[in-house]
Amino acid sequence: MNVRDVPSPNFGPRRDGLKPELVVLHYTAMESAAAALGRLCDPAAEVSAHYLVDLDGTVWRLVPEAARAWHAGAGSWQGRGDVNSRSVGIELQNRGDHPFPAPQMAALERLLRDVMGRWRIPPEGVIGHADMAPGRKQDPGPRFDWRRLAREGLAIWPEAAAVADGTAAIDADMSPEEAFQAAAAAFGYPRDARLSDILRVFRQRFRPAAGSAPLDAHDLSLIGALAARWGVDPGAAGT
């Protein structure tokens, strides 16, 4: 694929010998890709990403994949911190209030295939910025088409049969709130995040039509299915 190089000074070495095991998807929340490039390449801003994908499918490479871009900030996934050292960051030009157009999604799919192939990252390793930092971040937001990526093998999406069986992974001795938070931690969400923040970002990704309705049985079945299929033991995860 055609990638344009626009080097950013905002990067460093990956720490502790870590290599990419995640891809973190962001939206820029800016009016244009040009504005986003300016910020991501500004040394005073101290932020960057490995790639930026514009609405028309243009892809810019800002930081070499082997280096540690400054895109994720504080947060964790599956009990593991320093997400910057564990991930490749991809920014998508989007203000956060409109759909992601087909040319942009097609370019993202091509880029993901390349990145995931180089680093042997499985579909469950593709997450949103909000997933690792609920309460602090919300990108790529409810307009992002996670199910489309999953159909291409580039992300995960639980099928109906798995969701129907998801209640088996829920601890019946807990309250619904406690059970949801425990399963969410097993799936990967930070253990110290508030329930309301986890529920919000979980629904943005997997149940965007549910909005701000109270926690319900479908939420429990869905998070149970995700934890059973792709989760880890939170107590065994590293930091």
Each residue's pLDDT expressed in tens, for the chain with a length of 239 residues:
889 999 999 999 999 999 999 999 999 999 999 999 999 999 999 999 999 999 999 999 999 999 999 999 999 999 999 999 999 999 999 999 999 999 999 999 999 999 999 999 999 999 999 999 999 999 999 999 999 999 999 999 988 767 777 777 788 889 999 999 999 999 999 999 999 999 999 999 999 999 899 999 999 999 999 999 999 865 544 44
- The pLDDT assigned to 236 comes to 47
Q: Which two tokens stand for residue 37?
A: 């490039």
Edge-to-edge strand ranges of the sheet holding 3-5:
3-5, 59-61, 51-53, 87-92, 22-27, 126-128
**Model confidence, pTM:** 0.95
> What are the residue numbers of the active site?
91
Please tell me the predicted confidence (pLDDT) of residue 234.
53
Structural domains of the chain in order of their starting residue, each with its CATH number: 3-151 (3.40.80.10), 160-230 (no CATH)
pLDDT of residue 170: 82
Which DSSP state fits 136?
Answer: T
Q: Are 21 and 87 in contact (CB under 8 A)?
A: yes
Burial code (b: 16+ CB inside 10 Å, e: under 16) for 38-68 equals ebbbeeeeebbbbbbbbbebbbbbbbebeeb
pLDDT at residue 237 in the model: 46
CA–CA dist 45, 183 (Å, integer): 36
Q: What's the Cα-to-Cα distance from 124 to each of 111, 154, 226, rounded to whole Å?
A: 16, 8, 10
